[in-house]
Structure 1
Amino acid sequence: MIQTEYLPKIDKEYLEKIDNDFLLKALKPYSSKKAVYLQEASVLSSRQLGSDSNYIVQGKFSIESPCYVDETGHFNAVEFVMCYNQIGAVSLAYATQNKLLLCLQDLTVEEFYILYMSGIYITRLESTYKSLINPQEFSCKFEVIKERKRSRLSILKTLVEFSDPQGGIISGKVDLAIKHS
């Protein structure tokens, strides 16, 4: 398993698969454009989610054909953002439903879905392309490293790492603002 300076190794025995129906519901905004790239996701078990632990979700992706351009042959910046949005949507919806993040505790998952397309903003995005990724088969680790809530606004600092079986790796830091209604 590939390691980076950003994300910890995840032992597969501690992963709990997110239900496929839940995944499809969270990714519904992408389905009409045939842009659902996230194939499955698993959350780090609550056994490891303690007060000092970060919230981590792992996903498997495949981009058979990009929805916005002819085949490029590699994972690019547009796909980085689209895949980040998909793992983020599933991760945060799951965290909301299961009350795993303090800053989202007052939301229901139905309220989260309403906020998802109009109330979540990327406020900072930094990506580092260490080596090319094959978009046909790759995985991702998504981690919330810091969260805070101010009145009707939640702020999340996240890390993400995309990697493929051939050793391709791209990592990033992404900050989010979630505007509560």
Structure 2
Amino acid sequence: MTTLVATGHPTDEHLLARVLTPYKDHCRYLRSAVVVSEGDGQASARCEFAIPESCYIDDTGHLNSVEVNICYNQMMYYLVAKSVKEGLLAGFESWTLDDFWKHQLPDILIARFAANFRRPVDPRSFSGEMEFRSVTRRTQADGSPFLHAETGYRYWDAAAGRCDGTAVLAFVNVPRPGTGAS
């Protein structure tokens, strides 16, 4: 019987800054992210967030669905980038960081997103985590490959606030195995 040992990768400040580059300064909510790999092609991230002021609405006093989605995107982008850099996540073996930067905005699609708000979460300081539950290579009708990923996430704060959910991702125009290029 093989025992898997989890390996933690602390926040890579340079990588985090690069991942957040597409966001407006006041919309960079992800502060830190520790990526954990079990060594079996699965990876997860445990993150810290702060939203000093909503980017689009007066203060609601709680994390809302738009912010949940923005935070999810930032957490997911970092987890994928770190996984590509460290060779952690199954399905991304043929990716390079240059591939990730090329595909980050145009080719990573949220096919389905669900959120369950259990108790209000303080947006000023909260934690979150996400995991890739599965990544499978599939083929579109035109024969081009894509990655189908099922993920889960949750957020919490110091006052027992809680939100969780799932998201299904489609990574299109992906690099073909063995080529390192799209």
What's the TM-score bracket when you normalise by the shorter of the two chains?
Answer: 0.7 to 0.9
The equivalent residue for 1:126 is: 114
The equivalent residue for 2:154 is: 161
What SS does the aligned partner of 1:103 have?
Answer: coil
TM (normalized to structure 2)?
0.85
Cα distance in 1 for residues equivalent to 2:25 and 2:166: 27
Please tell me the residue identity of whatever aligns with 2:60.
Answer: T
Conserved 8 A contact 1:33-1:67: no
Q: Deviations over 1:19-52 (max 9, x none)?
A: 111101011111x3521000000011x4x3336x
Moved over 2 A (4+): 13-16, 48-51
Q: Does 1:113 align with 2:106?
A: no
Conserved 8 A contact 1:27-1:86: yes
Root mean square deviation, CA, Å: 1.5
> Could you tell me how far 1:100 is from its partner in structure 2?
1.3
Q: Does 1:100 align with 2:93?
A: no
The equivalent residue for 1:55 is: 43
Q: Does 1:34 align with 2:22?
A: no
The structure with the largest helix share of the pair is: 1
What SS does the aligned partner of 1:34 have?
Answer: helix
- Structure 1 vs Structure 2: percent identity of aligned residues? 27
Whichever of the two has the greater Rg, that structure is 2
Moved more, 72-81 or 13-22: 13-22
- Unpaired runs of 5+ in structure 1? 1-12
Aligned CA distance change for structure 1 residues 50 and 102 (closer, same or farther; 3 Å): closer
Q: Does 1:175 align with 2:160?
A: no
Q: Deviations over 1:93-127 (max 9, x none)?
A: 11111121221111111111111110010011111
Please tell me the residue identity of whatever aligns with 1:87.
Answer: M
